[in-house]
Structure 1
Amino acid sequence: MTSLRRFRRSVTRVLIACACLIALATGLAVAAAPASAASSMVTTMADDGVLNGAHGDPAPIVAQWKASGVENVRMFAEWAHIAPSPDATKPPAGFDGTAEGAYDFTDLDRKIDLIRQNGMTVTLVVTGPGPIWGSLEPARRNNRWRPSPAMFGDFAHAVAKHTAARVDDYIVWNEPNVATWLQPQNICTGTKCRVYSPHLYRKLAAAGYDAIHAEDPSATIAIGATSSRGDRFVVRTNGTTQPLTFLRELACVDSKYRKRTTGDCRGFVAPKGNVLAYHPHSSRYSPSYRSPYTGDARMGDLGRLTTVVDKLTKAGRLKVVGASRFPLWLDEYAYETNPPDKDLGISPAAQSAWSQWGWWIAWHNSRVKMLAQYEWIDEGDADADADPHGWQSGLYFQGGKAKPIAQAFPNPIFGYRTTKTAVVWGQVRTATGPMSVRLQRYSGGAWRAYKTLTTDSRGAFTRTVPRSTTAKYRYQYVSPVDGSTKTSTSTALRKR
């Protein structure tokens, strides 16, 4: 993700002012649905920095994840980090990627076991960049450039064979529409460029899916995992491909969904998977923001995303295995904060409010089966005056100081009002079954008891409340973790 920072900074400065107006005009993008609409959605954490020890001993932090309601952890099995001699142009003498012991899984095992010991499941992203020798053009010494599908398939087979007893869910490659992870994004001749990365990824996805499925037929395997936005114009070799353009190219159709059978699409075989993974980051836009660029799809554009995916599936250009339509794993979603990021961050208070809004949108979309908070602790420099590196989207600043979102994460709440009704939604993420929550209303300068509610088995509730422009709501409950009384953050009723 971090290689996008320069591009994101330049785009952000141009669009921030109009984005605020668009967000206000758009309102909530997703209509309310029954509380049970996405009751199987899994709460996931994605923070490889923590698991890799970037913030000290990961064990106590991972324990906090479980205590905060995290059920699943998305983590990387990165080819270059596991392969022998990753900087060499040739693999070690006698190397056989299919042989037992070909790869060193020591560190991967440590992380998987730590997660499982804390009562959470693992979603494993089997991804590049790979070793230099894994490229079809190793002389370039670029481990992102044209990875060999055959060698990657051997790696995916080795990973699945080693982890099948402990991992049920896999994602094949991370952000293949971003040059940080896969190159070239485009093939350029002179001043003309054509999109290329989807055609490269189609082969990688097939190799990865087939290898994992062969070793673990019961595994759930996702493809996609693209970023939410990209370059509108294809003018450079290594940019970022718009996600919906990427999907159409992956399926070998043009913008009008007409099949393509020549060039990069010769010999086309429909990519297959059980799930589509996706990263609906909204940057500095509210969760309701609808991108004016139809090749992009942020949290407010999930309907646009599923429309494209369903068209491709119906036409047989994408193949969903085990379902009639692709379920969605939103395996990254977050807002960065200012401080420390003055260019790309929103205020910590807005991060908390907008994240809960986005969590509600995901919960009420029946296609969404996973939602991952992208990072627990900020990356980069803790100095607010420094130019931060990485993402600043954690629940905690560097050094451990909590942001407001840290209180909200275990027990989100969101409310909205229309011309006819008003609704409050919340979820106790640590719930192990139906439980009692005490909904409170702030009016007349004090918090007062409003209703005692019983959640569903996932700790969620939806309650119709009086329409009001001034009232706020929060809820209290007895924690299933330690028996203490917990209080959610508060919500006003956003206008729809």
Structure 2
Amino acid sequence: MHRCFLRPALVAATVALLALPSGALAAKDLEVGIADENVLNGNTPGGADVTVEKWKASGVQDVRIFAKWDTLAPSPKVAKPPAGLDATDPASYDLTALDRRIDTVVEHGLKVTLVITGPGPYWGSSEPARSNGTWKPDPVKFGQFATAIAKHVGARVDRYIVWNEPNLAYWLQPQYSCNATVKTSTGLPSCAPVAPHLYRGLARAGYAAIHAADPVARVAVGATSSIGKRFVTGGNTTSQPLPFLRAMGCVNAKYRPIRTGECKNFKPVSGDALAYHPHSLKYSPGQADPDTGNARLADLPRLEKVIDRLTARKRLTSVGAKRLPLWLDEYGYQTNPPDPSEGYQSPSLAASYLQWAWSLAARNPRVKTLTQYEWFDEKGTGASNFNSWQSGLYTFDGKPKPLAAVFANPIFGWRTTKAANVWGQVRPGDTATTVRLQRGGKASSSFKDYKTVKTDKYGIFQVRVPRSTTQRYRFIYVDPTTQAEVTSAATALRKP
């Protein structure tokens, strides 16, 4: 992710979401996800089994896991595959560690979303002599890898994502083809997108391979990051997600088909869902990106408009639904501390922002999953202790951050010029629960019962309340697992 700080702005679409009336619980089937490979690899405090059981008790239902081609393939650092390799045979790969991670999750009663992704082995590239597994991966060879993985894990995995963040050079290269001798009006080299066309081939091959091996599976495509660079300075410049999707669909900015170059023999990508990483980074969940090529959480209506227009023009195929559902398989806030980088949120503000984000996702009918990234902060390696992610509920050594106290019982309140609402969820969200909504001031002793509410079967409730600028709300419930009484954090009514 890029460390940039832009002046916050709000979009009318987000205001509309915040203003939904009581009872408008649109995404009732929203799943709570978690992504933290370090836990499953045994590199965090307490061990994998202990932490995964905590995930389940805290309401996590789905766990995102990576199946990286270069990690699992034989002889990944050579230009030619091993002699006699059957790349569609699971036995050709070392799947021991992948099996351990999947089994740990499944044995605790949680579901797996498996990201089958690169980088690939050198021999998986269309130009293997470059010794670069991210450079122009061969779609046929990737499809063979996806076939082998889906064959092997199909009995334990029902959901897949094809590739991770294909608009980042870390995962896919080149992003652009640039001619340094030809300059644009800005003085930058003339560059044409390449990664969207590479990804179109990978997504088509991966989707077909997975469905052939595991016919009942659901397969998402996309999985781009939320931001990129508007001005392209070289071949590895991060692509903006919305222009990336349009280029993948071979349309211009006005959605007119492109039929030349890489689009000459165009065939659309198919998906059962669109995976997406709507990181807000240094923005709040309600702050829109002023650059319309990007789409953070507040910009989901912008993203939905793009994919719907692509679908309507048959440049992207939605399978099983008129409009592609959204799997938001990565979202989190890095905090300061521990990361002293300018613009990162305090741990307490990050906890508040994430509850806001969960309420937005729960009220968007397209969103089916929102995945917290991660459970533990990453320790970091190399010269800086903070060159990785510090977005966890806990520090890398296991100390709880404020998010840990609210993850299992989020609450968020908002007010508009006409109404005010409080949204909350009891997790695990697998049964209806009776909650006592309380109202009070700053002091905990001031809270009094305001209303008794029964959640839906997903543990979600939403209540219309008076438009007070001073009152705060919290809820109390009996934990369905431990039978202990639990009190949520308190929320004021935020004005969008």
Report the TM-score when normalising by structure 2. 0.94
Q: Give 1:180's match in structure 2, choosing from 153, 158, 170.
A: 170
Are the structure 2 counterparts of residues 399 and 162 from structure 1 closer, same or farther at C-alpha, using a change threshold of 3 Å? same
Which residue pairs with 2:93 in the alignment?
103
Which residue pairs with 2:402 in the alignment?
404
Quote how far apart the aligned CAs of 1:192 are. Answer: 1.6
User: Secondary structure of 1:231's partner?
Assistant: coil
Whether the 8 Å contact between 1:431 and 1:480 is mirrored in structure 2 is no
Whether the 8 Å contact between 1:66 and 1:118 is mirrored in structure 2 is yes
Does 2:422 correspond to 1:424? yes
Q: Deviations over 1:259-314 (max 9, x none)?
A: 00100101000110110000000011011111111110000000000011100100
Quote how far apart the aligned CAs of 1:443 are. Answer: 3.1
Whether the 8 Å contact between 1:382 and 1:397 is mirrored in structure 2 is no
CA distance in 1 between partners of 2:15 and 2:403 (Å): 21
Quote how far apart the aligned CAs of 1:99 are. Answer: 2.8
CA distance in 2 between partners of 1:208 and 1:406 (Å): 36
User: Secondary structure of 2:123's partner?
Assistant: helix
Are the structure 2 counterparts of residues 214 and 444 from structure 1 closer, same or farther at C-alpha, using a change threshold of 3 Å? closer
Q: Give 1:81's match in structure 2, choosing from 71, 74, 90.
A: 71
Number of residue pairs matched by the alignment? 482
Structure 2 gaps of 5+ residues are: 181-188
Q: Which amino acid aligns with 1:55?
A: T
Q: Which amino acid aligns with 1:147?
A: P
Does 2:157 correspond to 1:167? yes
Quote how far apart the aligned CAs of 1:136 are. Answer: 1.1
Quote how far apart the aligned CAs of 1:345 are. Answer: 2.0
Quote how far apart the aligned CAs of 1:23 are. Answer: 5.3
Q: Deviations over 1:57-78 (max 9, x none)?
A: 2111111100100001011011
Does 2:453 correspond to 1:453? yes
Quote how far apart the aligned CAs of 1:419 are. Answer: 1.9
Whether the 8 Å contact between 2:14 and 2:299 is mirrored in structure 1 is no
Q: Deviations over 1:43-97 (max 9, x none)?
A: 1101112112221521111111001000010110111111111112221121120
Quote how far apart the aligned CAs of 1:237 are. Answer: 0.5
Structure 1 gaps of 5+ residues are: none
Quote how far apart the aligned CAs of 1:198 are. Answer: 0.4
Which residue pairs with 2:364 in the alignment?
365
Does 2:25 correspond to 1:36? yes
Quote how far apart the aligned CAs of 1:105 are. Answer: 1.2
Which residue pairs with 2:39 in the alignment?
50
Quote how far apart the aligned CAs of 1:139 are. Answer: 1.2
Are the structure 2 counterparts of residues 320 and 439 from structure 1 closer, same or farther at C-alpha, using a change threshold of 3 Å? same
Are the structure 2 counterparts of residues 370 and 24 from structure 1 closer, same or farther at C-alpha, using a change threshold of 3 Å? closer
Are the structure 2 counterparts of residues 26 and 266 from structure 1 closer, same or farther at C-alpha, using a change threshold of 3 Å? closer
CA distance in 2 between partners of 1:187 and 1:404 (Å): 45
Quote how far apart the aligned CAs of 1:28 are. Answer: 4.0
Which residue pairs with 1:469 in the alignment?
469
Are the structure 2 counterparts of residues 210 and 382 from structure 1 closer, same or farther at C-alpha, using a change threshold of 3 Å? closer
Q: Which amino acid aligns with 1:59?
A: D
Are the structure 2 counterparts of residues 193 and 95 from structure 1 closer, same or farther at C-alpha, using a change threshold of 3 Å? same
Report the TM-score when normalising by structure 1. 0.94
Whether the 8 Å contact between 1:381 and 1:398 is mirrored in structure 2 is no
Which residue pairs with 2:145 in the alignment?
155
Aligned-residue Cα RMSD (Å) equals: 1.8
Whether the 8 Å contact between 1:382 and 1:399 is mirrored in structure 2 is no
Q: Which amino acid aligns with 1:32?
A: L
Quote how far apart the aligned CAs of 1:143 are. Answer: 1.1
Does 2:341 correspond to 1:353? no
User: Secondary structure of 2:287's partner?
Assistant: coil
Whether the 8 Å contact between 1:29 and 1:289 is mirrored in structure 2 is no
User: Secondary structure of 1:449's partner?
Assistant: strand
CA distance in 1 between partners of 2:94 and 2:144 (Å): 14
User: Secondary structure of 2:388's partner?
Assistant: coil
Identical residues among aligned pairs (%) = 53
CA distance in 2 between partners of 1:216 and 1:99 (Å): 14
Are the structure 2 counterparts of residues 470 and 268 from structure 1 closer, same or farther at C-alpha, using a change threshold of 3 Å? same
Q: Deviations over 1:128-165 (max 9, x none)?
A: 01111111111111111111111100000000000111
